[in-house]
Structure 1
Amino acid sequence: MNKIFGGIVLLGVPLSVAGSLMHWPSLVMFVIYCVTIIALSSFMGRATESLAIVAGPRIGGLLNATFGNAVELIISIFALKAGLVEVVLASLTGSVLGNLLLVAGLSFFLGGIKFKRQTFSVHDARHNSGLLMFAVIVAFVIPEIFSMSMNDSETLTLSIGISIILIALYLAALFFKLVTHRGVYVSKKKEGNAVEKSQEEPEWSKGKALGILLVATLAVAYVSEGLVHTFESVGESFGWSELFIGVIIVAIVGNAAEHASAIIMAMKNKMDIAVEIAVGSTLQIAMFVAPVLVLLSLFFPQTMPLVFTVPELVSMVTAVLLAIVISNDGETNWFEGLTLLAAYFIMGIGFYLL
């Protein structure tokens, strides 16, 4: 599989450049761009997995989430530049749904088939539950409610204020988990397992992994700009709305790296990392990427207030509550994964028909 992705990258990047210069049909370029980004994401996933072995599950999960979300952040910036605000908001919704339902669901389902019962840190699960409730239910729902009695300027001001608070709290959460309370809730058994796992050899050295991450990120930035310009014509060809393109297509392509990484970790019974990628990525999207995009939109002709549609909000709140109920006990199985997947496909059908 790694050789296949390597071949796609070697072929896809030059084709992306050639097709852009020669103005190939949008549908052809859309396929080339998507496949190339997914292949590049696989290299980013392998690089972050190598770093995770060296750094440990928490930092490793954070790295996977960060570089995975970097792809979506890059795509969203170019979409904002093109004035596709609805696509950006929909892609943020899709990331929340994709991570909590699709990624976690596939991880729990495939891992649960191989291992009857898989466990992860219940303390991390409960800590993340509170942040998920705050980030999605409080910070996303409040602007929608207040915006009903505000003008556009006031709504944008509210969004800017909320964005600053979200970024500050996200940085505080990282400081809490990685500095002040690092290892506080880790049992001796877990510590022993961590030492044992640290003996695992990474695929690439630290320097090589960081170099590949940098090159892959730059390549993704170039390809993403071209991808954004194909959305309108592709949507017209297939009858897809901007909402569906953002929620399903952009979210899946933009988060391919952590999707693959989380599933691989679950298949290896490394559930702490798998859950950290799925939930940590959701928190990073809601508490960092979304507010950063709101602030960045101030530099573009069309600003982006943090106001979602009602179907987007209801879907995200439902995904958060379902994920919390399933993960709060610190263990999972294949049926719980199937439940999350069923919820994702139900919402996917809804957004397609909307």
Structure 2
Amino acid sequence: MSYYEYPSGTGNVPVYDNNFSNRRSILVEPNHNYPPNNHVHYDIHQPQNAHYANEKENVGFQHDVEAPRKNNKIISKSPVKWYRNTRAVLQMFKSNFLLIFLPPAIIMKRFGVNESILFFFNFLAIVPMAKILSVGINDLSARLHPSYGAVLHAFAGNFVELVISSYALMDKQYAIVRSSVLGANLCNILLILGVVFLAGSWPRKGARRQSMNAHLSTQLFVSTSASTLALAVLALVTPAAFKIAAPTGTNIECDLQNISHATAIILLFVYAGLLVFQLKTHANETVDNNEAHHGEAQYFLVFDLFLIVASISGITVCARYLVTSIEHLAHSFHLGNGFIGMVLLPLCVVSNFMEHYDAIKEASEDKVDSAVGLILNTSVQIALLVTPVLVLVGWITSRPLTLDFNTLEICVLACAVLIVNYLVADGKANWLEGYMLIVSYIIIAVAFFYFPNVPEVPGLETMKCNPWSRNLPPELLGIGEGGEGGGSH
């Protein structure tokens, strides 16, 4: 049984549903003398002698529903998209069954329900809304230039983290904000990366030891993200190291604020440079690991905007209730601020749920290189985008958030990034390395469970700081009692 199909440029073409592949490509016979007039011949009785043709060379093939054509161009996809939109809505409610927690999570606040129950209900309600936001952003970015799409994905991937941390910042819970951004990074590079290594390298039938440098472009993406993350760690720990090394003075907190503000601005410039590197100058060498971002838009623009606006509204309300119930949760279960910020909130921040799921899925499909690049890129966005934005928002709103991490936080962050850079440097991964990363995260979580609360410095909001001069007292600036001299000799 044979038939003919007309490639592009020959008018309307018949549609053939390929029984041998689910890919959007066609089967052609190798070394076959095709008929004239650009007709392509298919013999479905001999699939073993066929190979896949380039999809771009066979515009006439359609996988779904035939649409009206003129000069081999689809005139309208409205019926197809209406069907996709309707099906998407039904599947969205079916797969995101946790949406049933959204109405009670909002209503219970008005009836004075126990704050601990309110915390968990709002957490469960945020999970599906973060997923819906990711779906809307993915489809909307397919309509835009890759540069704008990357910015949208950075926004969607860190929106929940940014909203929850912003509410905690407005409530002057500075220690929790610092711990949450640090904990989100540790959760990515230790827990999620460890699961990726396990999923990609666990011994199974036909498995092989995974190599992350199978694609040089992806290896460059991984190495760039790892080195940028190391730079971010240096920038984040420098203000804390300054406080530890500097002698105690009256206005040492002012200098710490100025250093934090300057560091935040510099980190934003670093992130802008990273985007230029990945999307402009080295776009052909550093690839975006999530290929779904570059596909064709599946839904109407109005439907995408509805998903984005609805999910953002729901996340904003639930995040507010989540933050207001943190203090009661801490008292009820005797949890410290360090454990809440370092462990509990990063696990609650599910804005990157879809990215984590995609990374683990890619690793299980022998694509550990892409999965590692995706995880490291998420951590880089938290360090170079979320953290600086929070510091600057605090500066603008008179909520002095500084990068004053305590000694334990500095040690675990530096060691974690050092270990991850060492593991990805050789371009290979195995399940034992993943197991050790997960164990490392558990050890850190146990340490912060017993870590006591550190009181904040009082009067930070009313402290007047001059960003253009050093704020140390005269005796620490080397100015003696006599004026400009260095003191008595």
Judge same fold: TM > 0.5, yes or no: yes
1:76 to 142, 165, 168: 165
Query: What are the residue-to-residue correspondences of 1:183-194 with 2, within 5 Å?
Result: 183-184=284-285
CA contact (8 A) 1:58 1:276 kept: no
Q: 1:141 aligns with which of 217, 237, 240?
A: 237
Deviation at residue 162 of structure 1 after TM alignment: 0.7
What is the SS of the residue equivalent to 1:44?
Answer: helix
Q: Distance in 2 between matches of 1:52 and 1:118?
A: 30
Report the AA paired with residue 445 of structure 2: G
User: CA separation of 1:5/1:20 partners in 2, compared to 1, >3 Å: closer, same or farther?
Assistant: farther
Q: Matches of 1:185 and 1:4 in 2, distance apart?
A: 36
1:66 Cα deviation from its structure 2 partner: 3.8
**What does residue 278 of structure 2 align with?**
177
**Residue 119 of structure 1: how far off its partner (Å):** 2.6
Report the CA distance between 1:271 and its aligned residue: 3.8
Cross-structure match for 1:32: 121
Alignment correspondent of 2:393: 296
Cα RMSD, aligned residues only: 3.1
Distance 1:2 1:353, change over 3 A: farther
Q: Which residue of the partner structure matches residue 320 of structure 1?
A: 417
Structure 1 residues 243 and 57: alpha-carbon distance in aligned structure 2, compared to 1, 3 A threshold: farther
2:377 to 276, 280, 298: 280
Tell me by how many angstroms 1:95 deviates: 0.7
Contact 1:97–1:344 at 8 Å: present in 2 too? yes
By how many angstroms is 1:261 displaced? 3.4
> Is contact 1:109–1:333 with CA below 8 Å preserved after alignment?
yes
TM-score, normalised via structure 1 length: 0.86
Pick closer, same or farther for the CA change 1:57–1:314 going to 2, 3 Å.
farther
Work out the CA distance in 2 between the residues paired with 1:56 and 1:330: 31
State the 1:268 CA deviation: 3.8
**TM-fit CA distance, 1:68:** 2.4
Of 138-147 and 256-265, more deviation after overlay is shown by 256-265
Please report how far the alpha carbon of residue 215 of structure 1 lies from its aligned counterpart in structure 2 after TM superposition: 2.5
2:437 counterpart residue number: 340
Instruction: Quote the offset at 1:319 in angstroms.
Output: 1.1
Task: Measure the CA separation in 1 of the matches of 2:154 and 2:433.
Answer: 22
1:231 paired residue number: 326
Q: Decide whether aligned partners of structure 1 residues 31 and 321 sit closer, same or farther in structure 2, where only a CA change above 3 A counts.
A: same
Aligned residues: 345
Distance in 1, matches of 2:300 and 2:200, equals: 28
Partner of 2:28: none
Report if aligned partners of 1:47, 1:209 keep a CA contact under 8 Å in 2: yes
Deviation of 1:334 (Å): 2.2
> Can you list the C-alpha shifts for 1:206-228, whole angstroms capped at 9, x where unaligned?
74456424422221111101100
- CA spacing shift, 1:311–1:54, aligned 2, 3 Å: farther
Deviates more, 1:269-278 or 1:312-321: 269-278
Counterpart CA distance in 2 for 1:147 and 1:349 is 26
SS at match of 1:260: helix
Give 1:156's match in structure 2, choosing from 239, 243, 257: 257
Contact 1:45 1:260 (8 Å CA) reproduced? no
Partner of 2:455: none
CA 1:61–1:44 in 2, change beyond 3 Å: closer, same or farther? same
**1:234-253 equivalence runs, <5 A:** 234-253=329-348
What secondary structure does 2:315 align onto? helix
Identity %: 26
Range 82-91 or range 336-345, more displaced: 336-345
- Cα distance per residue 1:260-310 (max 9 Å; x no partner): 332233334444542233111111111111111111012334310111111
3-state DSSP of counterpart to 2:158: helix
| Structure 1 unpaired stretches of 5+ | none
Q: 1:205 maps to what in 2?
A: 299
**In 2: Cα distance, 1:118 partner to 1:59 partner:** 31
- 1:119 equivalent in alignment to 2:212: yes
Q: Distance in 1 between matches of 2:145 and 2:372?
A: 14
Which whole-Å deviations, capped at 9, do the CAs of 1:115-154 have from their partners, x for residues lacking one?
A: 5325352212221222111101x10121112123261111
CA contact (8 A) 2:108 2:118 kept: yes
Residue pair 2:261, 2:395 contacting (<8 A) in 1 also: no
Comparing 154-163 and 12-21, the one that deviates more: 12-21
Larger relative contact order (Cα-Cα within 8 Å, sequence gap ≥ 6): 1
Q: Which amino acid aligns with 1:243?
A: G
When Rg is computed on C-alpha atoms for both structures, the one with the higher figure is 2
Q: CA shift at 1:27, angstroms?
A: 1.0
User: Cα distance, 1:231 vs. partner?
Assistant: 0.4
Query: Is contact 1:297–1:303 with CA below 8 Å preserved after alignment?
Result: yes
Tell me which amino acid in the other structure corresponds to 1:119. Answer: M
Q: Which amino acid aligns with 2:333?
A: F
In structure 2, stretches of 5+ residues that fail to align are 1-90, 452-489
Higher helix share: 1
SS at match of 1:139: helix
Q: Is the 8 A contact 1:42 1:260 kept in 2?
A: no
Output the CA distance in 2 between the equivalents of 1:112 and 1:60: 31
Superposed displacement of residue 6, structure 1: 2.1
2:268 corresponding residue in structure 1: 167
Q: Structure 2 matches for 1:13-52, cutoff 5 A?
A: 13-47=102-136
2:400 is paired with a residue of what secondary structure?
Answer: coil
Alpha-carbon offset, residue 93 of structure 1: 1.1
Residue 202 of structure 1 deviates from its aligned partner by 7.3
Do residues 105 (structure 1) and 202 (structure 2) align? no
CA distance in 2, matches of 1:104, 1:206: 35
Please say if residues 75 and 224 of structure 1, whose CA atoms lie closer than 8 Å, have aligned partners that are also in contact: yes
Q: Deviations over 1:80-112 (max 9, x none)?
A: 011111110010111110010111111221232
- What is the SS of the residue equivalent to 1:345? helix
Aligned to 2:44: none
